[in-house]
Amino acid sequence: MLKKCILFLTLLATATTVFSQIKIFDKPLSPRIANYAMKARLFPETKIVEASYVLNWWNASNDTIRELQFHLYLNAFKNEKSTFIRESGGRHRSGEIKLEKENWGFIDVLSMKVLDGEELKSKIEFIHPDDDNADDQTVIRIVLSKPILPSQSIQISCEFRSKLPRVYARTGFSDDQDDFFLVGQWFPKIGVWRNGAWNCHQFHSQTEFFADFGVYDMELTVPKQYIVGANAVLVNKKETDSLAVYTFHQEDVIDAVWTASSKFTEIKQKVTIASTGREVEVTYLLSPGREVYKDRLFAIATAMFNYFDEWYGAYPYPNLTIVDPPINETMTAGGMEYPTLITTGSFFSSARSNDFLGLNWPEVVAFHEFAHNYFQSMVASNEFEEPWLDEGFTTYAEHRALERFEKDGKISGGYGNIFGLNFSSLAYHRLSYLPRPKSGIVGEKAWMIPENFYQTAAYSKPVLLLTTLQNYLGEETMNKVMHTYFERWKFRHPQTKDFIAAVNDVTGQDFNWFFEQFVYSNKTVDFEISSIRAFEIKDQMGWFGDTEEKTFAEDNNERKEDSTETHTEKRYRSVIFVRNNGDAFFPTTILIRFANGDSVIEKWDGKENPKQFTYNKESKAISACVDPEKIIVLDLKLSNNAKVVDPEMAGISRYTLRFLFWLQCMFQTLTMFV
């Protein structure tokens, strides 16, 4: 193993000489398997990028590799026959793609060869590993004449032409009025060699991207009037009479992306991370009219760096670029994540977060996309195969950040307020989950999840299950879980089993039961206080026909027959039945209150169904509530979690109590969208 590591470091040092001499980190943070030195020129009139690269790829496995596979993501927009377009039906997010020829996108590989060696272009073969769509051209395979042995590297030179599509899903151009380009997934990207095979899935409508870490150098040439931003550190900028050449460098990332517009306003901010005092330079590229959001964006950035540093771990990069794209059809370019570059969206919002109709959209989108830098970019899970590990964890982080930002007095209502009513993020995710809790499974491959359940499976249900886990463990323990998971798996490719191991290790308990039910199945929980009865023990009792009430009556009669005592004071028997109407279980508690002010908290494993609690006391039970601390936000119906027995009151007092109880239920229902 030592010999292998020494060989790798030697190869890496050799490869670095081919690439940039600039160094951001003293020691590599990642294995640096896929390293690119890229040159590209944008031709705005034709929406074409003419480009080339040298790829240095290292075989970090013990396998002998006899072929290479690459993603050609832009070929998803090549025509109406791609798997992406067929699955999406020509729609994605809020937009409908117009497939006139001038709006298509594609990648043409002009030449590809082993550096100073074998010609590869003639060996390119389109494959479709996920379906039987022979027309899909988003993955290519190249069989090598000379295999790549363990610990060896290969250098490949490639010339290609990328035609950008009209902005539809994550990448492309806006119209001439906006003069905007988001250049993402624009180059032939090598797949990930994993478990003895290439992990190189087709581009599906419900998937994003998976890649190995590396070093990226980009030399980008654009018309002189354009402002360029990238997910990298700007090293140099040179200008001629008509052109500008930007040189960027980045280390230990999984992708390269850039944006260009003649209409950007560029603003800089230095954000200090409180725990270390380290500064990160944030570059904002704002479309016309968005400058009014500057102060709001500054507050968001300061919060997100510090929140995530506290909850998960350090953001190691010196830079972050935040792009606020123009409105038009490029709303589909908003809300996208890349390592150290995110696009946000101030549309559907105003410069102030407390307007009468004010949505906290800049906060929601910025927190979400920045969280991807942790759970897509550094903890680089495979979103093709386990989308919840990226989108779900990211949305959970967004939810926590919104709650904290609201607690800090920066916003109101989480997602905002609608006609003065706060709209919490938890309410939104319950609203997504509750109408269709059985429609799919969280832990499924992205393209296998039913389309109408994808948002719920990848985003909303993970928020509910992770929040339930946090409530159950406590925030301090959950922070330890998330921090442990991040530190173990940053710059690697974890799976769900690795997160479960982190939970079990930190807690010292086996939580497989939790994930088996809520990640790998569609089981649900629905707790209910089904009945409360209280009576004076010496009274007669009839049977009302219900199974629980029959049990209650028989229990009372048995008590009367066995009792020969003479009571000097009244005693009451109270019987409470709690049910789980779902098919999953979850440990919980039941709070029972008595007329004299006493209360009892009982534990219940959620399995025995129904569960009976009986008390013989001087005072009768007047109310019961299952999960009184609202730990289980996965519970399908919160309004049946509590029940009240009318105390012996007359007139207005009795009806006031009943009104207050139902008012409480109504507010709970509105808040949680039950």
Each residue of 338-397: pLDDT tens digit?
999 999 987 655 544 444 456 888 999 999 999 999 999 999 999 999 999 999 999 999
Query: How would residue 422 be classed by pLDDT, with cut points 50, 70 and 90?
Result: confident
Average pLDDT over residues 434-448: 95
Lowest-confidence segment of 93-107, 162-176, 284-298, 466-480 by average pLDDT? 93-107
**pLDDT greater than 80 at residue 303:** yes
Judge whether 171 and 255 are in contact, CB under 8 Å: no
Query: How would residue 476 be classed by pLDDT, with cut points 50, 70 and 90?
Result: very high
pLDDT, tens only, 528-560: 999 999 989 874 444 333 455 555 455 555 444
Give 5 or 332, the one with higher predicted confidence: 332
CA–CA dist 503, 497 (Å, integer)? 10
Residue 181's pLDDT is 95
| pTM: predicted TM-score of the whole model, two decimal places | 0.88
**pLDDT greater than 60 at residue 80:** yes
297 inside domain: no
**% pLDDT > 90, the chain:** 73
346 inside domain: no
Token couple for 613: 């609690």
Give 91 or 63, the one with higher predicted confidence: 63
**pLDDT greater than 90 at residue 431:** yes
- The domain boundary, picked from 263, 294, 313, lies at 263
244 inside domain: yes
**pLDDT greater than 60 at residue 288:** yes
Q: Domain residues for 572?
A: 527-672
- Write the single-letter amino acid at 629: E
Residue 196's pLDDT is 96
SS3 266: strand
- The CATH number for 233's domain is 2.60.40.1730
The number of C-alpha atoms within 13 Å of 632 and in the hemisphere containing its C-beta is: 27
440 inside domain: no
Nearest to 109 by CA among 153, 81, 139, 146: 139
Domain count, the chain: 2
82 inside domain: yes
31 inside domain: yes
pLDDT, tens only, 305-334: 999 999 999 999 999 999 999 876 546 777
pLDDT, tens only, 622-666: 999 999 999 999 999 999 999 998 754 434 444 454 454 444 444
- The domain boundary, picked from 229, 246, 263, lies at 263
Residue 554's pLDDT is 52
- The domain boundary, picked from 211, 228, 263, lies at 263
CA–CA dist 420, 354 (Å, integer)? 9
214 inside domain: yes
- Helices 461-473 + 391-407 axis angle, to 10: 60
Q: Is the dihedral of CA 112, 248, 211, 10 positive or negative?
A: positive
Judge whether 252 and 28 are in contact, CB under 8 Å: yes
Residue 326's pLDDT is 86
How confident is the prediction for the chain on average, in pLDDT?
A: 87
114 inside domain: yes
